[in-house]
Chains A and B, each alone.
Chain A
């Protein structure tokens, strides 16, 4: 059995998306900035895609900037809000401890450039408190950036409440919705969102294309200088086929948002139920407030990379937050942020589902994971110590 359960890393592009992109490449090769008919055809296609992208968020077309993906959208949103703040003497930025590196590393760089950054705690349940945001706000706060859903543990944040706190204080609110867009309902108006990042390859669209929503009236600066594309906010000839593919993927997602969500929740819950049968295992992140397809477990006494490799040999493709999969000596900052000790965080496993997964696959995964965890524990000196009491169980 071959099971792809790493949809938070990237998704398999949908066939109708490929068809839309192929047709676009064959039929619409013009440059949208050209005045002739071929160019104007491309401009129309681009406008249509912008309309669809905007509508999927409850936004207006002119509030959408197309980018090269989630990382660029995050970088631009944060740098732009920081720069705007600085012009008014505001140098304080608020975010959370478990953001994606596209956000965290941008903030670290701004810190080196003279900004002050407050990273809010995310608690054991992996959820930011709107009240903490309120308390962290200062006179000189230029931006609050809180992700919509976490990419590792899938927890959904109280975006509407946080947005309301920011709106009341007159502070720009950005959310990295890369994991949420196309998977859960988003309405930027209702949720008080000023800026939002999304990325097509996380919802069965193509890689290397994304969007940044910027509410009308919020100033935006460009990262990439050049031509006047994207109203001068993002230079470079538009990735028209990619953008068309993203719009198609968003339409497909919107059509089946509830149906797919309910189906994934059913699989997710069965998977959580099954893996809970393993001793000294624990689900990471809130049990209810999480993405429909996200399952993230820690198994005490084993290391994540060896778990992944053995599962891969059995046809199960997943991911882990262990140090040895990250290429650094530290396990995932997300797992540390929810309070897991290093040695437990090394034994994490993330399974992220799509509507293509089946209940049969879930049963197979539970069986194989249970077996592999047992095998690895059998050869683990850490597990031996835990079992004989020389080391204390934490979960």
Chain B
């Protein structure tokens, strides 16, 4: 099996899937040319990420990493969410094949980009 059971579970039953209409921050990373795009939506109250969702174009590990990343930051303070690393996402998924690690980097970047978008929208 290429993927761990955990990866397959998150891939086949993604958590927090779908667009969020009233998001406070949106982060889109990756590009279609390379084969993976992740779009993350966050809702923030008092510096806490109260809700999060995602849409992803990509392979099994890209979708599973997106799903896992949303679970790992949901309900967490922004400061903690910013500390999320792709390594932590991959570990939480019981590992990814070496040539698939780059797909999990996107999850980390998507979180940061969504937070950055939230700050930009809220410093005006």
* B12 in contact with A381 (CB, 8 Å): no
Q: Which residues of B contact A96 (CB under 8 A)?
A: none
Interface locus among B50-58, B77-85, B87-95, B115-123: B50-58
A31 within 8 A of B: no
Q: Which residues of B contact A1 (CB under 8 A)?
A: none
Q: Pick the residue among A304, A322, A342, A383 that contacts B33 (CB under 8 A).
A: A342
A346 within 8 A of B: yes
Q: Which residues of B contact A305 (CB under 8 A)?
A: 59-60
- B67-87 interface bits toward A, Cβ cutoff 8 Å, 1 = contact, 0 = none: 000000000000000000000
- A315-337 interface bits toward B, Cβ cutoff 8 Å, 1 = contact, 0 = none: 00000001111010101000000
Interface residues on B, range: 20 to 34
B39 within 8 A of A: yes
* B99 in contact with A303 (CB, 8 Å): no
* A329 in contact with B34 (CB, 8 Å): yes
A381 to B14, CA, bound (A): 15
A302 within 8 A of B: yes
Q: Which residues of B contact A379 (CB under 8 A)?
A: 14, 17-18, 55-57, 63
List 16 additional contacts besides A324-B58, A329-B102; criterion CB under 8 Å. Answer: A301-B57, A305-B60, A306-B58, A306-B62, A310-B12, A324-B60, A324-B61, A341-B33, A342-B33, A343-B32, A379-B14, A379-B57, A380-B57, A381-B28, A382-B32, A382-B57
Q: Interface residues, chain A, CB within 8 Å of chain B?
A: 301-306, 309-310, 313, 322-325, 327, 329, 331, 341-343, 346, 379-384
Q: 7 tightest CB-CB pairs across the interface, nearest first?
A: A324-B59, A343-B32, A305-B59, A381-B39, A380-B57, A323-B35, A342-B33
Q: Interface residues, chain B, CB within 8 Å of chain A?
A: 8, 11-12, 14, 17-19, 28, 32-39, 55-63, 99-100, 102-103
| Sample of 27 A–B contacts (CB below 8 Å) | A302-B57, A303-B35, A303-B36, A303-B62, A309-B8, A309-B11, A322-B35, A323-B34, A324-B35, A324-B60, A324-B61, A324-B62, A324-B100, A327-B99, A329-B34, A343-B35, A379-B17, A379-B18, A379-B55, A379-B56, A379-B57, A379-B63, A380-B55, A380-B57, A381-B28, A381-B38, A384-B19
